[in-house]
Structures are given as C-alpha cells and as structure tokens.
Chain A
C-alpha cells in the first residue's frame, strides 16, 4: 500500500499534518480542537451535513462550511467557533434551533447525563431561549418495537438511525416521514422494527429520542458503573459494557473494538441480559432423592454428593461441554476429570480445527477484501451476526460477495476472504482446505473464517486438550455423565445419552432444562457473571469480567473444592487457572495482559496441544432434484432468549425458505403452504421464496423443523392448516 500524501492544514492557528482527504472533524481533533457534531458519524457512511452544528469558516470560501463534509487539502485554513466570530454565531444559531422544539426534559430523560445534546448545550449553548411560542408536540413515547421506544419531541432529526437502517444493517425499516418541522422518524408502514441489529440505533441517537425500553427509568449516570467485558452469546465476542446498578445488570452497550465489532452489537447480545434474573434461575444445588424428586441441598452436601458420584464412576465418566464455558472453567473441569479421575472422554458440540490458524485475519479485514466467498447455507446473521455486517460493509465498499470458490472473480482478486457459515464444515477444516487450494496462506488481506455454533468452542477445546497428554480408553458404559452448561443440557442427544448413563450431574442456570433427568443439578453462572477468557471465531483471546455477582457459587469455586478431594490442585481464581493454560497454549501470556481491547495474537505453540482430527462430515449430498433441508439454529433462540419477554417478537416465524427454482418446479409461491416430509413424518409450513438460496436447499428455523433434516420431500400442501 502506498503511504497517503500528507497535507498541512491550519485549524484555529494551529498547524497539523494529516493524510490528504482526512475529514476536517478528525483533522481538528488531531490539532486538539473539538468541532461539535450531531449528525456526523463516520461509521454510517458519507457525511450528510444535516445538523449544521459543525459550521466552520474556511479561508477563501465566503459562506460558512460544515466541517463534517470537508476534507483536508493542502494549505487549508480553518477557523472554528473558538477563533471565528462568524462560525460561533452560526453554531450558536444552530444550537438554538436544535433546542427550539426540544422539550428540555433532561431530569426525566434516561439519556440525561450521558447525552451529547446536553453536553454540547452546556459547552456551547446559550443560557436561555428566545423561543416563546408553543413547541411542537407529538404522541410519546411510541414503542417502535418491544425493545425500543421513540420520543419524537426529543428527536433532533440527525438521521443517524435511518442511515444506520439504510446503510449499515441494510434493513430499510426506519425512515423519515413527512416534511419540514413535521418530519418524524418512523418505521416503514408503522410495523415493529425487527432485525438482528435494531438496538444499535439507541446508542447512535445523540439525544433521548430512541431509548431501550428495558432501561426506562432504571438508572441515572451517577448511580451506574459500566463494566467492560465481552459478549458470550455467539462466537464473535463483541466487546461490550455492562451497565450495572446496585449489583444488577441494567443494560448492555457496545464497546467499540474496531477489529471485531466496530461498535455494533446484535439485539440478542444487547437485550437478552435479563436472563440473569429469569424466574427459573437456579440458585441452590438440587439433589435427586428417591421418591421425592429433586430437593434443595446445601453446597457442602452437593460437593459431597458430587464427589461420591465422581469416585464411583472413576474412569467411566463422560463429559459433555457446551462451548460456552470460559477457558478457565473448561481447564479446571478437565484437570479434575482427566488428571484426578482418569476420565478423558469429552464431547464438544463441534470440533474446532486448528488448520484455520494459517488463515487468520481480524474480522475488519473482510471490509477490505476484493472478494468475499460466503459458503454454507446457514444465514451468517443467525450464527455470527456482526460478521454479516462486515460482509455488507465489504459489499458497499465494492467487494464482490459470491457463494462459490469457483466464481471467476476469485482468481482475479487480490484479497480473498472465505467465510464458512455451516452446516457442517468439520470445525473449519473444510474451509481451511479450500483456502489452501486457493493459495491464500501468507497472502496479504486473504484469509478464512469458520463460524462455529458456540461462543468459546475453540477456547474450551484448547483447554480440554492442553490439560493432560493421556488419552485414556474409550468409555464402554457410562458411569457418570457430566453435563456442563445450558446448551448441552438443552440438547436432545445429550438427554438420550443421560438415559444410558448410570448417574448424571448437570450444571445449568435454569431448573427447567434438566429437572427431569439430573441426579445432581448444580446452578450455573452466566458469561456476565464470570471472570475469565474466551477465544472467538478469529482465534482472538478476549477477557470476560464479572459484571455482577452470581446468585450461586461460581463454577471454579466448587470445581476447586472437588479437585482437592482427588488431590488435584485447581485454584479457585481465574488468573491462576489461566496462568496454567497460558503456559501450555497461549505462550505464557499473563491474565492481566489479555487486554481490554484484545489484539489478535498468534500462538505458534498452540498447535501441538490442540492438534485433533475432525470427524468426517456426516452429510447427505442432495442429488439432482432432491432438496436438503437445513434446520438452522436461529439467532433469536436459546435459553437466554427464551427467558427475555421483550425479545419474543424477534423469534423466527414458522416458515420454509425455498429457492426460486425449486419453488417454480413445485408450483409454490411465497405465502403458499408446503408439506415437508422425510421418513414418514411430515410438517406443513408457509413458504417464502428466497432468490438468494441455492436450488436443492430449503431452510427452516430449528424450532420449527420438528426434528426434520437431511433430504426431504417438499410439495404444495393440499390443505391449509387452520
């Protein structure tokens, strides 16, 4: 890459050298001068110059100019309101206009205290108003969805939200209606604002117009603490702040990591935190007592009972992991079971291949790609939502987004990025193979991503593998099944396994998941309650922080107690456990050095510890004319979403997606009903024809698939279900 030409710009009599074309707002910052803005937000694309707050005087230009739409040119002389009388007059006038219809109800506004409008008014605004007429009033607040409310009186029409909807999430649902002073933000056709990313507009809004309903009247800025951590609900690992008041999480905010998430988070990560306070949350261990069912026991009793079950099944213990444990929890559990009890067999939801390490890139590199090849039939947004935003941004940036590595654009491109969204893909081995075939290794800006199903599958696998070199023998009959985490507990296959096992210990946040079949049920914690580390889909090791105390004993705590019974040393502190893992996997990196915004590090030693062969793909290939049904796990599903009332409207409708070609052959159109059948069972679903879907693939959300999958028969339904 060529180094950009530096130009000299004078801002308020200070000279500064910046690359040609740098925005004047940024140029001023480089000179230590703030140009206040409302509508300007570089992440939303080209500036629009709407709010007029950034008016500056430019030498040689008669009219005041908006700083946000100007770019640095050599010799440019800019005077901001600090040194230019005219610019100050323009800016004061603008701020006065902005406040003319604003209700100034800061004392009852959730934004109060963290509001750019309030801040800039204090800093630049007139102390009084010359407006003595009736202000505009609107009906308020309007719930534009169950999670977001809109106050049109507070709105200053900066169009950040509509630009996000149009140009970032590309859902096109938020629009401006009417004209002039009567302009309002609204959803298209007044429908609820749905989609994976809607909540971001509440953070983009520079006033209290778009606010998260969950946070309404829940806290004032001086009562809250924002705890920096990482979201643990999907493998992206968006950096977040958890707003905590009096020991409760009240809100989740993005915490811009420019390589990972660019400050966008999905609605699941933002709104599903209320799972912490779910009604069926377990706070005490439960033990099965014959004829009595589950009874609450003390932690001492529970640890005793667990020790008994473990001892009895020594060598015959099988562990099922969720992939949502921290590296430290997985390692501690591994040490207890593998070193202490000689039980090496563990099941992960999926194997994660180390083969991808040669093709690692930060997610932000997707935007710089010339070609992005998206492979797999699971929608990217359902598995790793923010990756979808990176791909969209690549497309807007001129990249070609294709679905086949044989696309003619691929060999011509300089920077090629592969994204495998599933199903299958052998933990990334398949996409790594494709990357190898294309010769992407070591090429600047080229790489491959595999979107795992679990948030920390890689970290859990690393920890489990690194703990011990013994492999042990395969367990013939399961003495004890240890089920770690809610995802595992909710898995039907795991339940089936539990029936074969003599005894079962389940660690779960919620009682409902395993109440019917666990012999010992231990309360689990949420990612928001844990200190530790996660490895995201880029292979980036990131730091989770305990944002609130869990209502129960932390996993590391009781694992450590149990380990002591078997003469295994497991510290109850994440930092100490991490030190051990790090010695083996992460090059001895110290816990404290993982970083608040973790860089993408490379661990050359990691391979030998985690080297595993993935299982061959158990996939039926559809023959010509046949249709393979992909039953994908939707973004808005899982234990946390199920327990968040406000997110129910986002859950997928029962609906069969079918390609245009397959629909035509079956005389199906969107809105028709189709029966989907295989092996004698059949379901009827409404059809949506999706032109982006390949022929031979049909798609349905897992919860509406009724267990169907693989090759299916699809035909127009003779009867429409009532």
Chain B
C-alpha cells in the first residue's frame, strides 16, 4: 500500500509554508466551519473522531478538550507540545517545516473548542529552521486576520528533554526551571498559570483540520476503529530509506520497514525494532507483523509512543545499545525525583560494568531490581523511559548479557556497530548551531 498523505497532503506539490498556497488547497476553511459551531458541538465532533494523542500517551484529543473547565473564570490555554526530543522521533519537525498552517489552523479550531484566546506553541530549542518557518507562518496568518480574538505565541525551549513532559513544559513556559509537577491537579483543571490548559502534540493538532474537512464520521472510518486516521512514522536506524512515512494506523510494521523504508540496509539481518522512540520496549523480528496502532502494540507489551521506529540490525550489541539509551535518560533526568535522578546513573554504571567485563551474574538481577525500583515510583515517565527499553533488552536478549559476563567483556570484540541508531548523548549540542543568530 502506498503512503496516504493527510497531514502532509499537498506538501510535495506546493510550498504550503505560504498562506496563499495553503488557502489554495482549501486551507483555513476548517476554522470557519468550526467557528460556525458552538464549542460543545465542536467538542462532540472531535470526540466522535477518536483522534488519539500522537505525542505518545494516545489519550483521545476530544475527550481531553471536554475535561477543560470552560466555566472557570480564569483564561483557558491551549498549549502545543512541539518539544519533540525523543530519540528517533522527527515527525513534528516535518509538519512544522512543511505544513505550518495546518498546525496553526488546528490550533485555532482547538482554541475555539475550549474557548481559549491564548495558544502557546512550545518548540524544541534546537529546531531553529522549523521555528523560523512556523513563526513566519504565524505572523502571516495573524496579519491576514485569520486569528480573530485568538493569539498564538511560539516559544522556544532551551535544550531540555524533560520539557517535553507536559507539566515540565508548563513550568518552563512560566519561566521556571523545567521540572514536572505532581499530578493531580491535572492540566485541564490547573495547568498554565494555574488555569485550565489543554496540551496536545503537534501531529494531533495538525490532524484537527482534517477532521473538520471530511467530518468526524468519515475520519473515524479510516485507520482502525480504535485508532482512526493516519500517523506520520519516523523510521531511523539500519534501514535502506530512513525517513517519515504517513500511513493509516493499523498498517503492519513489516510493511513499513520492508516496503516503505526499503528493508534492512546492505542485506543484513533485522535484530530488533524499538517502535515508539527510544523509550519503549523493543520487539524481536518475529513480532513485526503487528499492526501499527495503539492497542495492537500495547497488546504485545510495548507502546505506540511517538510513532518512531528505530530499526536495529544484527551488528548491534544490545548492551552497548542499552548504555547509549540509558546515558541519554540519565543525562536528561531533571533531577527532581530521587529514583530517576539516582537510578538512571546507577543503571549506566551497572551496564558499563557488564560491557567492560567487571560485572557478575548478580549484577543482571541488580539491573532488573534497580529498574523495578524506578518503575511506578517516579514523578513523571522519564525514569520509566530509561527502564522500559533496557528491561526489554535484558529479557529478550538475555543470552547476550550473560555472554558479556561469561566472556569477561563484550563478545562482539569491537565488531558491534551502533551506526545510525540513536546519537550518543555527548553529541547533544546544548547550543545548537545558529542559536547565536537569534540572540
């Protein structure tokens, strides 16, 4: 099956960063439709579409909007999470770079649903090009008078992965140190500046105009019944054609890897797929016939996550992969809650001792136990994101871990390659190139 471009529709044919071009394909008609409806009607329509959150948690967007306390005397805020930082995920940046007006249109529709006048788009600091395109589009749309009584502010992050966590994002947006808040209270009740706040991922919001265009009923017929619509899948790692592919939800993972992404590069064997960005449990080659939707992936013990597949071939040492992944989360742990702050660093130490041959069999149990003491005990999901993948490597590729211990070091003897699989955390630039230009 070919790609079905909905979010990215028209982007190959036209320069949709231009307002006129976007309008030429019917852009911003959704806003007019939405504004002709009452917020209640609009929320009902969105609920009917069962648009599940594309940021990772999969919570239906319409239901989220219905939780907003619209009777509150406080202002209502819509916040778009564009702090795409999950290793392996690069779908939001393509949306912002190619169809910024679709995102803006989605913002205006969603703002109408929750009676918000203030929309904030919190964009990852390193996404400089995308920021410039998006900010330009926002300015152009504002100029054209499309906003009405709504305004959109694009706010750049400062290089912290944790600020993609919604409550840390709110803290950061308020000018504070980006660290998660305890919940409850949940953002729909008490979010930005203590006011009711709706937070959605870029792809979620950019899908909203599509629902208005074809109607919720039609939208719900696409994809699979529990997860309608399309998703943009970021495919990276050892495939022939890495990149973003927009497909109907429910498309088999095998089709995405072998047909769209061209299969494993250089004729090597598939070893593992991390299906939702680096934070989720990995799958073995015999599991890749799974349909790509929230419930199907959940059923086999992993997550849809950020719809970002990291494909790993047989050259890769899973202990090295675990170190690379865990180092990232230890580096990005915000430091607020104890298990994540301490546990992620400890996990790195244990993994490194396994890799360099100083560990014993008991250390495998220790690694598991440290992970257990993080899972379900942390303030936000970051600590768990460190554990899920490592725990899956340890259980599904246990022989490889045991071999490290018995061999007194890495059995790959230097032949392992992590080329193209996650960037090592020391490559994360804190001052992205070009940042100075803005200051």
Interface positions of A (Cβ within 8 A of B): 47-53, 55, 63-64, 66, 69, 89-90, 93-94, 96-98, 100-101, 130-131, 133, 136, 156-157, 159, 175-176, 178-183
CA distance A181 to B343 in the complex (A): 9
**Ranked 9 nearest A-B pairs via Cβ:** A93-B373, A183-B335, A180-B333, A49-B182, A181-B345, A97-B342, A133-B349, A69-B182, A63-B376
Tell me whether B339 and A52 are in contact (CB under 8 A): yes
Residues of B within 8 A of A64 (CB): 376-377
Given known pairs A130-B366, A157-B341, the reply for A49 and B335 (CB within 8 Å) is no
Chain B residue numbers with a CB within 8 Å of A63 are 376
Does B346 have its Cβ within 8 Å of any Cβ on chain A?
yes
Q: Across the two chains, which residue of chain B brings its CB closest to A70?
A: B184
Residues of A close to B338: CB separation below 8 A: 50-53, 94, 97-98, 156-157
A97 pairs with B339, CB closer than 8 A? yes
Partner of A93, one of B181, B336, B341, B372: B372
Q: Check if B128 is an interface residue, CB within 8 A of chain A.
A: no
Roughly how many angstroms separate A64 CA and B384 CA in the complex, as a whole number?
A: 14
Is A179 in contact with B334, judged by CB distance below 8 angstroms?
yes
A-B contact pairs, 28 of them (CB 8 A): A47-B182, A48-B181, A49-B182, A49-B337, A50-B338, A51-B338, A52-B377, A52-B379, A64-B376, A93-B372, A94-B338, A96-B373, A97-B341, A97-B343, A97-B346, A97-B373, A98-B338, A100-B346, A130-B369, A136-B345, A176-B177, A179-B332, A179-B333, A179-B334, A180-B333, A180-B334, A183-B334, A183-B335
List 11 additional A-B contacts (Cβ < 8 Å) besides A53-B338, A133-B350, A136-B345.
A50-B337, A50-B379, A52-B339, A64-B377, A89-B373, A90-B377, A94-B377, A101-B342, A130-B369, A176-B177, A181-B344
Q: How far is the CA of A96 from the CA of B334 in the complex (A)?
A: 19
B331 is an interface residue with CB less than 8 A from chain A? yes
A55 touches B341 (CB 8 A): no
Contact A178 B376 (CB under 8 A): no
In the docked arrangement, what's the CA distance between A165 and B142, Å? 41
Which residues on A sit within 8 Å (CB–CB) of B379? Answer: 49-50, 52
How far, in angstroms, from A201 to B145 measured CA to CA in the complex? 53
Interface centre among B330, B336, B340, B366 (most CB of A within 10 A): B336
In the complex, chain A residues whose CB is within 8 Å of the CB of B66 = none
Give which listed residue, B182, B341, B373, contacts A180 with CB less than 8 A.
Answer: B341
Residue B319 lies at the interface, judged by CB distance under 8 Å to chain A = no
Least CB distance, A97 to chain B, in whole angstroms:
4
Count chain A CB atoms within 10 A of each CB in B334, B338, B353 and give the residue with the most.
Answer: B338
Q: Which residues of A contact B195 (CB under 8 A)?
A: none
Q: How far is the CA of A530 from the CA of B338 in the complex (A)?
A: 46
Q: For the complex, what is the distance from the CA of A91 to the CA of B373, rounded to whole Å?
A: 9
**Do A50 and B342 touch (CB < 8 A)?**
no
> Is B378 part of the contact surface with A, judged by Cβ < 8 Å?
yes
Q: Which residues of B contact A175 (CB under 8 A)?
A: 177
Q: How far is B336's CA from A183's CA once the two chains are assembled, in angstroms?
A: 9
Residues of A within 8 A of B162 (CB): 179
Are A181 and B330 interface neighbours, CB within 8 A?
yes
Given contacts A101-B342, A179-B332, A181-B330, contact A90 B366 (CB under 8 A): no
A97 CA / B340 CA spacing, docked (Å): 9
B160 contacts the other chain (CB 8 A): yes
Min distance, Cβ B430 to any Cβ of chain A, angstroms? 11
Nearest B-chain residue to A158, judged by Cβ: B338
> Given the complex of chains A and B, what is the CA–CA distance between A90 and B374 in angstroms?
9
* Across-interface contacts of B335 in A (CB, < 8 A): 157, 176, 178-183
- Residues of chain A lying within 8 A (CB to CB) of residue B330: 180-181
Contact residues of B with A, CB < 8 Å?
Answer: 160, 162, 177, 181-182, 330-346, 349-350, 353, 366, 369, 372-374, 376-379
Establish whether residues B377 and A181, one from each chain, have CB atoms under 8 Å apart when the complex forms.
no
Which of A52, A131, A176 counts the most chain B CB atoms within 10 A?
A52
Query: Closest Cβ of chain B: how far from A207's Cβ, in Å?
Result: 13
When distances are taken between beta carbons in the complex, the residues of chain A under 8 Å from B344 are 180-181
**Chain A residues closer than 8 Å to B346, beta-carbon distance:** 97, 100, 131, 133
- Note all chain B residues with C-beta closer than 8 A to A96: 373
Known: A48-B182, A179-B160. A55 touches B377 (CB 8 A): yes
What is the CA–CA distance of A131 and B181 in the complex, to the nearest angstrom?
Answer: 29
Name A182's closest neighbour in chain B (CB-CB).
B335
Known: A69-B182, A180-B345. A48 touches B336 (CB 8 A): yes
Q: Who on chain B is nearest to A53 by CB? A: B338
Min CB–CB distance A22 → chain B (angstroms)? 16
Instruction: Give the complex CA separation of A130 and B373 in angstroms.
Output: 13
A641 to B271, CA, bound (A): 72
Q: Is the CB of A181 within 8 A of B333?
A: yes
Nearest-neighbor residue (CB-CB) of B372 within chain A = A93
Contacts A181-B341, A183-B335: A52 and B378 contacting too (C-beta < 8 A)? Answer: yes
User: Measured between C-beta atoms, what is the minimum distance from B250 to chain A in Å?
Assistant: 28
Q: Are A52 and B337 in contact (CB under 8 A)?
A: yes
CB distance from B184 to the nearest CB of A (A): 8
Identify which of B331, B332, B341, B366 contacts A183 (C-beta below 8 A): B341
CB of B342 to closest CB in A, whole Å: 4
Which residue of chain B has the shortest Cβ distance to A86 in the bound complex?
B376
Q: Which residue of B lies closest to A159 (CB)?
A: B336
- How long is the Cα–Cα vector from A98 to B338 in the complex, in angstroms? 7
Measured between beta carbons, the chain B residues less than 8 angstroms from A180 are 330-335, 340-341, 344-345
Given the complex, which residues of A lie within 8 Å of B372, measured CB to CB?
A: 89, 93
B172 shortest CB reach to chain A, Å: 13
Cα distance A680–B373 when bound, in Å?
A: 75
Instruction: Name the B residues within 8 Å of A179 (CB-CB).
Output: 160, 162, 331-335
Whether the pair A100, B342 counts as a contact (CB closer than 8 A) is: yes
Q: A157 to B379, alpha carbons, bound, how many Å?
A: 14
Q: Smallest Cβ distance from B98 to chain A, in angstroms? A: 32
B216 to chain A, nearest CB (A): 31
Q: How far is the CB of A151 from chain B (nearest CB, A)?
A: 17
Residues of B with C-beta under 8 A to A47: 182
Q: What's the minimum C-beta distance from A132 to chain B, rounded to whole angstroms?
A: 9
CB contacts (< 8 Å) of A156 on chain B: these are 338
CA distance A101 to B330 in the complex (A): 15
Contact at A94–B373, with CB atoms within 8 Å? yes
Report the separation of the CA atoms of residues A61 and B116 in the bound assembly, to the nearest whole angstrom: 32
Q: Which residues of B contact A94 (CB under 8 A)?
A: 338-339, 373, 377
Q: Residue of A at shortest CB range from B353?
A: A133
> Which residue of chain B is the closest to A131 with respect to CB atoms?
B346
Which residue of chain B lies nearest to A90 when distances are taken between CB atoms in the complex? B377
By beta carbon, the residue of chain B nearest A96 is: B373
Which residues of chain B have C-beta atoms less than 8 A from A130's C-beta?
A: 366, 369
How many angstroms from the CA of A51 to the CA of B339 in the assembled complex? 8
A64 and B335 alpha carbons, distance in the complex (Å): 20
Least CB distance from B191 to A in Å reads: 15
Distance of A64 Cα from B373 Cα, bound (Å):
11
Closest residue of B by beta carbon distance from A180 = B333
Are B182 and A93 in contact, with the CB atoms below 8 A?
no
* A57 and B346 alpha carbons, distance in the complex (Å): 26
A463 to chain B, nearest CB (A): 51
A136–B330 Cα distance when bound, in Å, is 14
What is the chain A residue whose CB lies nearest that of B346? A100
In the bound complex, how far is the Cα of B378 from the Cα of A63, in angstroms? 10
Which residues of chain B come closer than 8 Å to A98, judged between CB atoms?
A: 338, 342
A181-B160 contact in complex given A97-B373, A133-B353, A157-B335, C-beta closer than 8 Å? no
B residues in contact with A131, CB < 8 Å? 346
A240 to B288, CA, bound (A): 68
Shortest beta-carbon distance from B186 to chain A in Å: 12
For B162, B330, B331, B339, which residue has the most chain A Cβ atoms within 10 angstroms? B339
Q: Which single residue of chain B is at the shortest CB-CB distance from A68? A: B182
- Bound CA span A130–B349, Å: 12
Q: How far is the CB of B341 from chain A (nearest CB, A)?
A: 6
Instruction: Report the minimal beta-carbon distance from B271 to chain A, rounded to whole angstroms.
Output: 29
Give B404 Cβ to nearest chain A Cβ, in Å. Answer: 17
B33 CB to nearest chain A CB (Å): 40
Residues from chain A with a CB closer than 8 A to the CB of B341 are 97, 157, 180-181, 183
Question: A52 CA to B340 CA in the complex, in Å?
Answer: 10
Do the beta carbons of A93 and B332 come within 8 Å of each other? no
